[in-house]
Structure 1
Amino acid sequence: MSAPAISVESLTGTTSSELASAAVKSGGCASSSCGSSRKPDDMDPAIWDKIKDHPCFSEEAHHYFARMHVAVAPACNVQCNYCNRKYDCANESRPGVVSEKLTPDQALRTVVAVANEVPQLSVLGIAGPGDACYDWEKTKATFQRVANEIPDIRLCISTNGLALPDHVAELADMNVDHVTITINMVDPEIGAKIYPWIFYDHRRYGGIEAARILHERQMSGLEMLSKRGILTKINSVMIPGVNDEHLIEVNKWVKERGAFLHNVMPLISDPAHGTHYGLTGQRGPHPIEIKALQDRLEGGAKLMRHCRQCRADAVGLLGEDRGQEFGLGRVPGEITYDGSKREAYRELVAHERLDHVKAKSDAIDVVKAAGSGKSLLVAVTTKGGGRVNEHFGHAKEFQVYAASPDGISFVGHRKVEQYCLGGWGKDAILDGIVAALEGIDVVLCAKIGNCPKDQLAAAGIRASDAYAHDYIETAISAIYAAASGAPASAATA
């Protein structure tokens, strides 16, 4: 299959006029369909319209669209044993961490600056660094300002759920149609091991009583959102030995109450972060343990597997963070929104997405027709656009796909340190990458040197750059067909 003449990959380096010209050359699309691709057969059209450009609610959209979090809500009403909010820690990549706290007016300026320069931007979220519903006045003021300036941007919040029931009506009135709730338990006895205290109704509660109140408020908020047609994603932190087995029950509860997605995330536990779990030696799960639990949850609430556990001031595609490019010192005091770059991007990406959908369908057909009982785990380096387009040495994560007689599916990602810095690779980092790729059969990348290729081979992992810039699924189908001894003509890019 031939790739489009104009690649989405090159869009972020072009000017607004160049983007508009590219959209015209590619054929463009009607404004009502820009950014869309084929709706899944089993999905309600109204729901597809809400998620098709939301990178957190659609696995397909995360290849093309970016999110932005603004850190306007520092106050929090729940203490979690895995959380310690540090504000001046630019190198941290985990929830609750920001480099600058913003006022609603500062947030508006920053959002406009990002929207002018990042054409993929489709979603504005407030995820703290505290709780968006507890620090409600700042959250509300920010959304009102941004919606007035950029009316087509999606608005969403992340919350622990304790104050959520108090604001569901206002969220609906502001057209906030995506809400993420962190729910780690439905049994207060387990909750007491995760939450030292909560602050509710002007009082501090601890122990099982605190966990019971939090649980009841979370379930109430979820049910209220579902009744209003607001899509909910449930985040659950997998804590080995604490709630790992219990998350099966959590999945059942949230599905029964209308959750759209369930996202199981690994505990981030490092003593350097100063969290209770980090300081007491509670370990986080291994990637294989996360995948095993996710596999057990299949058939329950629909799973999200492409989460990156973003900072509360993250900017860009999932898996990248451009937030440091848009600090307050780099944003003009007076700035006007120019939507031409975003509009041109949406027109061009619609063409690319339709092509990708066709390529993915063809690739799945190749895998199913291979007649093999084999399964492969394939790790891919990518910069976006759904293509194999990142150098092995530049990768900070690998996207992991499974190929089997059932087809091709995205199953998660593995974060790593960047191996190649200043043209040189570091052996210690490469050792860490090989360890992070445990269980992987094949690595696909745009380019790889002989040294890392040989070290991967010694660990039983095949690496290939023969499919550079192909669609990910197309490349995987060719690898799978070759391993099965089947023809792969339909998988040729």
Structure 2
Amino acid sequence: MSEPMIQLETTRKASSNGGPGAAKSGGCASSSCGLTAPDDIDPAIWERIKDHPCFSEEAHHYFARMHVAVAPACNIQCNYCNRKYDCANESRPGVASEKLTPDQALRKVIAVASEVPQLAVLGIAGPGDACYDWKKTKATFERVAREIPDIKLCISTNGLALPDHVDELADMNVDHVTITINMVDPEVGAKIYPWVFYGHSRYTGIEAARILHERQMLGLEMLSKRGILTKINSVMIPGVNDAHLIEVNRWVRDRGAFMHNVMPLISEPSHGTYYGLTGQRGPKPLELKALQDRLEGGAKLMRHCRQCRADAVGLLGDDRGREFTLDQIPGDVTYNASKRHAYRQLVARERGDHLAARKDAITAVTSVGSGGSLLVAVTTKGGGRINEHFGHAKEFQVYAVSQKGINLVGHRKVERYCVGGWGEEATLYNIIATLEGIDVLLCAKIGDCPKKQLAEAGVRATDAYGYDYIETAIGALYAAEFGVEPLVATA
């Protein structure tokens, strides 16, 4: 049994022993045996997104995506972008360790699909633009679809060349498209985009932003008419477009976008971008959350994005791309579907339990007669459970809980506290700073020393809910916090 499947079985057994909020098994739940859509999602849409980790927050606990860097050419310049190659230590869009031909991409996809059972989606997200470098994008999808017909295909694009390829995308059954839209006002856009290349000409300033805006809106409308699900990515740039993104949200909602993902600007000077070199800061976590909260009620928000590399492999937040560089893949690799099929059968049962536990926990929280709220950070390695040691965590998932329910509202990346069995004090100080605004931290295990220092900084940390479902644990925590009886799960 592969490592992800062992982890799922282990967490199932651990939770069945009963923690403070342990859930009981609810039976099988695959698409063939009754996995039903959450109450807030249309069943027809659920069937299309239930295995897509970017379009479904629930699916990202179980399923992985893979990006192949076959599209290096780009037709616009963004002030936040520097397309670097052979850059293994940066985790952000536009970065890849190696560019691939369509044939090399096929070989890599076959290798990953045979070894990473969670793989459900193949995406092309650059490192340039998938629609501008269209011949390579199309050739890659055609090759992969022949070999692995059940894998979902999706692209990410700036939208300038998108209208030229909507019909072909539909013909290839590309059912998920992401467009990066940072403005609907060309005067704002001129501060983000130095130039665009369109119709064999280069445009600058407001004229460039106007052309890009018109093409983005046309592409979005065309996709909506064809029934293709569209996610809009927007980079939040403080002082440039942060307030303007409220208008962007309204525009994309009115034109049929399924989801809006507002991401923080990444602008370290070492990245070599215009914004990085000129001192433009990114938003603080609480600033990003505040903007996302203001957007609630508009287009559906994505809160679980990890701003993936152009060659990312694996679950969101757990990039395994370094394991699958071309020099590690045999030239005669053949596809073995057995691990993917076995994983799907196992995860189907787990997901049914998880959805039932989540529903029960939310019902319990919303029935509490209190106006209290908590911001809760969680360590997890997947499966929707609190199953990661504090010292091994590379990120914290952040949930807001109140009478409105239990909602994932973001994540915060950190360096591992424990390296070689030792805790690093400097790293702990940075982790404490990253947890600003968090009330409670839930983890599978935490030592007394970091627990004490977190408490001194105002963050209560506990491993009492280790291996429980995240929502079940948060529901029990909320009930205990506000003086009511905790949820008791039933078989």
Q: What is the TM-score when the length of structure 1 is the normalising length?
A: 0.94
1:12, 1:368 → 2: CA distance? Answer: 29
User: CA 1:92 to 1:13, structure 2 compared with 1: closer, same or farther past 3 Å?
Assistant: farther
Return the match for 1:186 from 177, 180, 184: 184
Question: Counterpart of 1:33?
Answer: 32
Question: Counterpart of 2:343?
Answer: 345
User: CA 1:9 to 1:483, structure 2 compared with 1: closer, same or farther past 3 Å?
Assistant: farther
Q: Is the 8 A contact 1:395 1:419 kept in 2?
A: yes
The CA deviation string for residues 113-148 of structure 1, in whole angstroms up to 9 with x for no partner, is 000000000000000000000000000000000000
1:350, 1:374 → 2: CA distance? Answer: 35
Question: Counterpart of 1:159?
Answer: 157
The CA deviation string for residues 285-308 of structure 1, in whole angstroms up to 9 with x for no partner, is 000000000000011000000000
The CA deviation string for residues 423-473 of structure 1, in whole angstroms up to 9 with x for no partner, is 111111111111111000000001111111011100111000011100001
Question: Counterpart of 1:46?
Answer: 44
The CA deviation string for residues 261-290 of structure 1, in whole angstroms up to 9 with x for no partner, is 000000001000000000000000000000
Question: Counterpart of 1:134?
Answer: 132
Q: Which SS does the other structure have where 1:304 is aligned?
A: coil
Q: Is the 8 A contact 1:363 1:490 kept in 2?
A: no
Q: Which SS does the other structure have where 1:55 is aligned?
A: coil
Q: Is the 8 A contact 1:8 1:349 kept in 2?
A: no
1:10 aligns with 2:6: yes
User: Which amino acid in the other structure matches residue 394 of structure 2?
Assistant: K
Q: Is the 8 A contact 2:5 2:346 kept in 1?
A: no
User: Which amino acid in the other structure matches residue 6 of structure 2?
Assistant: S
2:366, 2:3 → 1: CA distance? Answer: 29
1:366, 1:44 → 2: CA distance? Answer: 23
Return the match for 1:411 from 386, 409, 412: 409
Question: Counterpart of 2:304?
Answer: 306
Q: Is the 8 A contact 2:63 2:119 kept in 1?
A: yes
User: Which amino acid in the other structure matches residue 77 of structure 1?
Assistant: N
Superposition deviation, residue 349 in structure 1 = 0.7
Give the paired residue count: 476
Q: Is the 8 A contact 1:9 1:385 kept in 2?
A: no
Superposition deviation, residue 41 in structure 1 = 3.4
1:444 aligns with 2:415: no
Q: Is the 8 A contact 2:479 2:487 kept in 1?
A: no
User: Which amino acid in the other structure matches residue 184 of structure 2?
Assistant: V
Q: Is the 8 A contact 1:232 1:260 kept in 2?
A: yes
Superposition deviation, residue 37 in structure 1 = 3.3
1:226 aligns with 2:224: yes
Superposition deviation, residue 11 in structure 1 = 5.5
The CA deviation string for residues 30-50 of structure 1, in whole angstroms up to 9 with x for no partner, is 97537x832133533332111
Superposition deviation, residue 369 in structure 1 = 2.9
2:132, 2:417 → 1: CA distance? Answer: 41
Q: Is the 8 A contact 1:478 1:492 kept in 2?
A: no
Superposition deviation, residue 73 in structure 1 = 0.3
1:417, 1:338 → 2: CA distance? Answer: 35
Q: Is the 8 A contact 1:122 1:153 kept in 2?
A: yes
Q: Which sections of structure 1, spanning at least 5 residues, go unmatched?
A: 1-5, 15-25
User: CA 1:338 to 1:29, structure 2 compared with 1: closer, same or farther past 3 Å?
Assistant: farther
* CA-based RMSD: 2.0
Q: Is the 8 A contact 1:37 1:357 kept in 2?
A: no
Question: Counterpart of 1:467?
Answer: 465
Question: Counterpart of 2:480?
Answer: 482
Return the match for 1:317 from 298, 315, 318: 315
Q: Structure 1 segments of 4 or more deviating over 6 A?
A: 26-31
Superposition deviation, residue 406 in structure 1 = 1.7
Superposition deviation, residue 344 in structure 1 = 1.1
Question: Counterpart of 2:364?
Answer: 366
Moved more, 423-432 or 361-370: 361-370
Q: Which SS does the other structure have where 1:475 is aligned?
A: helix
Q: Is the 8 A contact 1:75 1:134 kept in 2?
A: yes
Q: Which sections of structure 2, spanning at least 5 residues, go unmatched?
A: 11-24
User: CA 1:223 to 1:29, structure 2 compared with 1: closer, same or farther past 3 Å?
Assistant: same
Question: Counterpart of 1:98?
Answer: 96
User: CA 1:38 to 1:8, structure 2 compared with 1: closer, same or farther past 3 Å?
Assistant: farther
The CA deviation string for residues 41-60 of structure 1, in whole angstroms up to 9 with x for no partner, is 35333321110000000000
2:289, 2:220 → 1: CA distance? Answer: 26
5 Å-filtered alignment, 1:216-365, equals 216-365=214-363
The CA deviation string for residues 311-363 of structure 1, in whole angstroms up to 9 with x for no partner, is 00000000010000000011110111111111111111111000001111111
Question: Counterpart of 2:171?
Answer: 173
Question: Counterpart of 1:22?
Answer: none
